[in-house]
Chains A and B, each alone.
Chain A
Amino acid sequence: MIETDQYTLEFEKPLRALAEQLETLSRLSDESKVDVSLEINAIKTKLEQTQHTIYGNLTAWQRVQLSRHPKRPYALDYIERVFDDFQELHGDRRFRDDAAIVGGTAFLHGQPVMVIGQQKGRNTKENLKRNFGCPNPEGYRKALRLMEMAEKFSLPVITLIDTPGAYPGIGAEERHVAEAIAVNIREMSALKTPIITIVIGEGGSGGALGMAVADCVMILENAYYSVISPEGCAAILWKDRANAPQAAEALKFSPPYLKNFGVVDEVLDEPLGGAHRDPDTAAETLKNAISCCLRKLQKLSNEALLQLRYEKFRAIGRYSENATK
């Protein structure tokens, strides 16, 4: 079956054109009983080639668009496919439940785990609830509550990152979102249980890091993880948000760079054209990566685990040091 509406992004235009040709031809052949199978096959080949050309050479900005694709699998889509018997646990026991972050117990190959994810909405109604995946302080505090519970009962923690950033709101400031993120970062650095993080979509700055201080940080190939959104960077340095594509290049936040900087440990392949083309396969990749990583981490003592976690983040950064007088 051919779907022309699956090519909705600007750079997918050539694919949409080919898909439309295909559709027209197959309709023609159905209606007129003229044999156009040769033409159809030729276009199919062309479509496949073009897919490889386009998706094999994505720019940083194009990857950002894929990471924000409205059909991209979100945290709950993965949780449902990767884990069994997810029991969502709500609320921070302080203020309220923040639906931009979901979390709870689940099982991976029968082993209990704590899984926590940042959750976007699929439509306007959902997004009102999920706040477009922009957590408030209570979301981070809920995440910490669940992580501490995981430590108490010796469950590994798996966090799924997908946020444009923590919510810039009046209430968020009044309830100290910066402090909530800071405390999470500090406590995660010393949490006595394995932590695995996968950036599945947008890794938006402090809002992402507040759930991403992990023993192993992985990222999907069309996700990004950045100190600032490309639009925000463009607005400051170019004085124009329209320069976001240039900012996306300049920030070097695509997965290969992140791996080179020591910020991520592994880049996970997505189905051709993005995870939304085949969520099941994408979830399978995630499941294998998490299982493999967990096996390695669970061989370590807590002391070794914490020491390695400390050293991992301690080593990140590039500076020079000259001897002084």
Chain B
Amino acid sequence: MPIFSKPQYSTVTVKKKDIPKDLWTKCPKSGEIIYNKQLKENLMVVPGSGYHFQLGARDRILSLLDSETMVEQDAGIESQDPLEFKATASYPQKVKQYQSKTGEKDTVVSATGTLLGTPVSIAAMDFRFMAASMGSAAGEKITRAIERGLAEGRAVIIVSASGGARMQEGILSLMQMAKTSAALARLGEARLPYISVLTNPTMAGVMASFASLGDVIVAEPEALIGFAGPRVIKETTQQDLPPGFQTSEFLMEHGLVDRIIPRSEMRAQLGLLLKALYRAPATQKVG
């Protein structure tokens, strides 16, 4: 017995620390094991199964814009704690945790640039940051991205992913839905195209505002998209949910999503759509 009382493999433990974590990832769809570096190079899509992992907001924008054209906008915007929200954890603490985890100030990254030559104002949501919940900071950045499109005569692209409005900022989060949608009304009047890109998952308050308002709404394959969460629906209705319920494919079949586009083709296809829909305003110089 004494032989077990003191661990004899302490050196092994030390050695374990030297092995980089997260070297491999298992595909939840096919079970195949994929080298992380390869996964990253493939924009977080599993080559074999086509499973789309979530992609960070910054990587997303870089994957869509013409190289070297990205100019980040409104990078200094951060959440506050207007409700002095206290639940099981304090809200500012939570925000700090996610900031150090992701390196982003909040869930939205926005930029201007060109996409296959078309001048765009683009915003993307990062699901790793508090489930990409929309509070005042996210709402402000999205609204400014739309207003910038309007002011500078750019097409607008918003890549959505979100669990919904951010509870910790209460009613102010709900009002971001109004703010962003009102800006889109003005963009529409100026006949500047807005393409909404839905990624896994896009739900609730984000879906019930700008994400549903694209002139064109495209989705990545097999994303969860909807208003109410599937569990809430099941509990409320006591009904079994139909197969594929609230997936991109289900939504295309039911007439909301225009096209399903795999990530590898997103840039090329958005480029074609913009080429067809975008006309540079006569009075403005853009680029």
Q: A173-B226, A321-B77 are in contact. Are A228 and B167 (CB under 8 A)?
A: yes
Chain A count of residues within 8 A CB distance of the other chain = 57
Q: Would B178 and A179 count as touching, CB distance under 8 A?
A: no
Q: What is the 8 Å Cβ interface bit string for chain A, positions 214-237, against chain B (1 contact, 0 not)?
A: 000000000001111000010011
Q: A168-B236, A228-B167 are in contact. Are A318 and B86 (CB under 8 A)?
A: no
Min distance, Cβ A165 to any Cβ of chain B, angstroms: 8
Stretch at the interface among A24-32, A99-107, A186-194: A186-194
Residue A206 CB within 8 A of the other chain: yes
Does the CB pair B177–A185 fall under 8 Å?
Answer: yes
| Interfacial chain B residues near A167, Cβ < 8 Å | 236
A237-B167, A238-B87, A251-B167 given; A321·B246 CB < 8 A:
no
Chain B residues within 8 Å of A186, by CB: 181-182, 184-185, 188, 213
A277, B78: Cα distance in complex, Å: 45
Give the nearest-CB partner of B253 in chain A.
A174
The residue of chain A having its C-beta at the shortest distance from the C-beta of B202 within the complex is A178
Are B172 and A237 neighbours in the complex by a CB distance under 8 Å?
no
Q: A176-B254, A186-B184 are in contact. Are A261 and B82 (CB under 8 A)?
A: yes
The residues of B that contact A261 with a CB separation of less than 8 Å are 82, 171-172
Q: Which residue of A lies closest to B183 (CB)?
A: A314
| B57 in contact (CB, < 8 A) | no
Q: How many residues of B contact A (CB 8 A)?
A: 67
A227 to B178, CA, bound (A): 12
Query: Nearest residue in B to A174 (C-beta to C-beta)?
Result: B254
A200 CB contacts on chain B under 8 angstroms: none
Q: Are A320 and B184 in contact (CB under 8 A)?
A: no
A169 touches B76 (CB 8 A): no
Interface of chain B residues 45 through 88 with chain A (CB within 8 A): 74-80, 82-83, 85-88
A256-271 CB mask vs B (1 if < 8 Å, else 0) is: 0110010100000000
CB distance from A180 to the nearest CB of B (A): 8
- Please state if B77 and A320 are interface contacts (CB–CB under 8 Å): yes
Q: Indicate whether A206 sits within 8 Å of B227 (C-beta atoms), given known contacts A186-B185, A317-B139, A319-B78.
A: yes
Does B205 lie within 8 Å of A227, measured CB to CB? yes
Q: When the two chains form their complex, are residues A225 and B171 in contact, meaning their CB atoms are under 8 A apart?
A: yes
**B182 & A226 in contact (Cβ 8 Å cutoff):** no
B266 at interface, CB cutoff 8 A: no
Q: Take A178-B226, A190-B182, A324-B75 as given contacts and tell me if A317 and B175 are in contact as well, using a CB distance cutoff of 8 Å.
A: yes
Tell me the minimal C-beta distance from A70 to chain B in angstroms: 20
Residue numbers of A with Cβ under 8 A of B are 166-170, 172-179, 181-183, 185-187, 189-190, 205-206, 209-210, 213, 225-228, 233, 236-238, 246-247, 250-253, 257-258, 261, 263, 309-310, 313-314, 316-324
The 4 closest A-B pairs by CB, nearest first: A168-B228, A317-B136, A189-B182, A178-B227
Could you list 29 examples of A-B contacts with CB < 8 Å?
A166-B208, A168-B233, A168-B237, A170-B239, A172-B227, A172-B228, A176-B255, A179-B212, A182-B181, A185-B182, A190-B189, A206-B165, A206-B177, A213-B178, A213-B182, A226-B170, A226-B174, A228-B165, A228-B167, A236-B167, A237-B167, A309-B182, A310-B186, A313-B179, A316-B172, A317-B172, A318-B80, A320-B78, A321-B74
